[in-house]
Amino acid sequence: CQCDVCNADTEREGAASGALIETVNVVADAVSQEFPKVLVKTLAYHWTRKPPLHARPRDNVVIHLAGLENDFAQPVDSEANSLFRDHIAGWSAISKRLWIWHYTTNFVNNVQPYPNIFTIGPDLRFYVKNHTTGVFINGDGFCNIGDFVRLRAWVISHMLWDPSQDAVQLARQFTLGYYGEAGPYVFDYVQLAHNAVKRSGMRLNHGNYYD
């Protein structure tokens, strides 16, 4: 909305998320009267990603923060993703229930190599450190022949269960067990792809394409 009232609210809050949170709070208050255990979730996404200066989500409101603009070759806690990193810290400071929408696939070309498996561990640990209470990892939902779909799902599942684990070692364990005698060579390729992206400085942009 671009009306005078909403524009004034956005200016006061320093972000469009202020008006959103105020509106969601009204809904959350009404819901809590009849359903005290029900949570109301809203997205902090694109133009509502930046946390407001003054508005505060009710205790029964879940903020689901999505970092679609991140460089997925780099951990969230890096200078490459400093804006999203700061937004996580901002929402964590004002929200009792912060969830993360984490992308880990290439939506435009599912079979194109997308080496970001090794950043899952540092990212999940960073989310835990910032009091995140839920993580949705958006993987390959469009086909079953994407970039190491089974390896990725296995590593993600184990890391969600225990973020203190080493994603690299989990990947090694899976490839050796799943691919049999070819396992060491598959793991070498996985490492090669990750190292190549890191060495080149290539940006995995938007979860969609190489930049």
pLDDT tens digits for range 13-70 = 999 999 999 999 999 999 999 999 999 999 999 899 999 999 999 999 999 999 888 9
Three-state DSSP class for 62?
A: strand
Entry field: residues in the chain? 211
Please state which of the ranges 119-123, 138-142, 157-161, 187-191 shows the lowest mean pLDDT.
138-142
Alpha carbon 170 to chain centroid, angstroms:
20
pLDDT score at 194: 94
- The answer to whether the beta carbons of residues 110 and 142 sit under 8 Å apart is yes
Given pLDDT bands bounded at 50, 70 and 90, which one contains residue 2? confident
How are beta strands 97-103 and 132-138 bridged, if at all? parallel
pLDDT band for 207, please (50, 70, 90 cuts): low
| Whether 78 contacts 85, CB under 8 Å | yes
The pLDDT-based confidence of 209 (bands split at 50, 70, 90) is: very low
pTM of the model: 0.90
Residue 58 CB neighbours (<10 A): 19
Q: What confidence tens digit (pLDDT) does each residue in 181-202 have?
A: 999 999 999 999 999 998 888 8
What are the beta bridge partners of residue 71?
Answer: 205
CA distance 136 to 103: 9
pLDDT given for residue 110 in this prediction: 79
- Report pLDDT for 99: 98
Q: Name the one residue in this structure whose structure tokens are 């190549």.
A: 196
Q: What is the pLDDT of residues 83-131, one digit of tens each?
A: 999 999 999 999 999 999 998 888 877 788 889 999 999 999 999 999 9
- Percent of the chain topping pLDDT 90: 75
Residue 206's pLDDT band, with cuts at 50, 70 and 90, is low
170 neighbors 133 (Cβ within 8 angstroms): no
Give the per-residue pLDDT at 203.
85
Kindly list the strands in the beta sheet with 61-66, ordered across the sheet, starting from the edge strand earlier in the chain. 40-44, 61-66, 97-103, 132-138
Higher pLDDT, 86 or 6: 86
Token pair for 11: 């200016």
CA 118 to chain centre: 14
Are the C-beta atoms of residues 209 and 201 closer than 8 Å to each other? no
Residue with tokens 């909305």: 1
Q: How confident is the model at residue 211 (pLDDT cuts 50, 70, 90)?
A: very low
**CA dihedral (188, 156, 170, 202) positive or negative:** positive
